[in-house]
Amino acid sequence: MTPSEAQSVIALLRDVARSEILPRFKHLAAADVRDKSGPLDPVTVADEAAERALNAGLRALFPGDDVIGEEAVSEGTARLERLAEPGRVWILDPIDGTANFAAELPLFGVMAALVEEDQVRAGFIFDPMSDDCAVALAGQGAWLVAADGTRRRLRVAPPAPVGEMFGSMSWRYMEEPLRSHVLHRLDRLAAVTDYRCAAHQYRMLAAGHCHVQMFRKLMPWDHAAGWLLHREAGGYSRHFDGTEYRPSNLSGGLLLAPDATSWEALAEALLR
């Protein structure tokens, strides 16, 4: 992907946020929010409208590419097996942090990733509230791009001993005995938090504002863009079994750290 193409994607994310997301923030009626898989998995009319607009916009920008959105998969109109097949495909999370959005908390983002044969080629995490976008292009680095186009290079935090590392952890989808195993070891870290928003957690991680993240469930719209952002900012990550991340792997867990040595220390402290 060229820098000019990346700018076009950022412009699309900004336009959709302004037209479909922000006008509905703090203006949702009760009927505008419903549960999908359960009460911790809401969807709003803003998610659905934004995904339709992003889908149309990306197909106009890149006519040969396919598009897979979170809501389309939920409705059964798109299939995740497409990620490992030939050709380019965009993965969309129209509003990451929907629970925050519905609760009128200004902590949500718009995520898009370009995948080709199960490899992430580009990642975008747009913050509608600050009007800036974290961008990663495979092999080209990661930046925070402000509304005026100025760029700041993103770098992960420097390595630290396990006891001095802090970050976000999600154990919601961990099965036993892994769940209890990890929970009994979280006090080995300096601090643990969860913002209910992978978009901002990945932005924090890539910008060096925390050291570590751990996830169990790996829906690609939640992680593909952020994983590349972290890698291009100098970070190191692996599935729990030590294999490299793939967007098509939905259940292998993901542990992200500043470097390989830190990853091994965290895996030893939390997983083994």
Taking a C-beta distance cutoff of 8 angstroms, is the pair 266, 165 a contact?
yes
CB atoms inside a 10 Å sphere around CB 120: 26
**Does domain 162-270 bear CATH number 3.30.1360.40?**
no
Q: 3-153 is classed in which CATH architecture?
A: 2-Layer Sandwich (3.30)
Lay out the sheet containing 236-238: strands in order across. Answer: 191-193, 166-169, 212-215, 254-257, 236-238
Taking a C-beta distance cutoff of 8 angstroms, is the pair 141, 152 a contact?
no
pLDDT tens-digit map of 52-82: 999 999 999 999 999 999 888 877 767 788 8
Banded pLDDT at 40 (limits 50, 70, 90)? confident
Mean pLDDT of the chain: 94
Could you tell me whether strands 42-44 and 33-35 are parallel, antiparallel, or unpaired per DSSP bridges?
antiparallel
Alpha-carbon distance 162 to 180, whole Å? 19
144 has pLDDT over 90: yes
pTM above 0.85, yes or no: yes
CA distances from 229 to 59, 144, 168, 219, 236 (A): 23, 10, 16, 16, 11
- Return the beta strands (E) in 51-181 as ranges: 66-69, 88-96, 109-116, 119-127, 132-137, 141-145, 151-153, 166-169
Q: Please give the share of the chain, as a percent, with pLDDT higher than 70.
A: 99
Residues 6+ apart with CB under 8 A from 137: 1, 3, 6, 121, 122, 232
pLDDT tens-digit map of 250-262: 888 999 999 999 9
pLDDT, position 160: 97
Q: Across the strands, what pairs with 69?
A: 92
Taking a C-beta distance cutoff of 8 angstroms, is the pair 106, 129 a contact?
yes
Taking a C-beta distance cutoff of 8 angstroms, is the pair 189, 166 a contact?
yes
Domain ranges of the chain: 3-153, 162-270
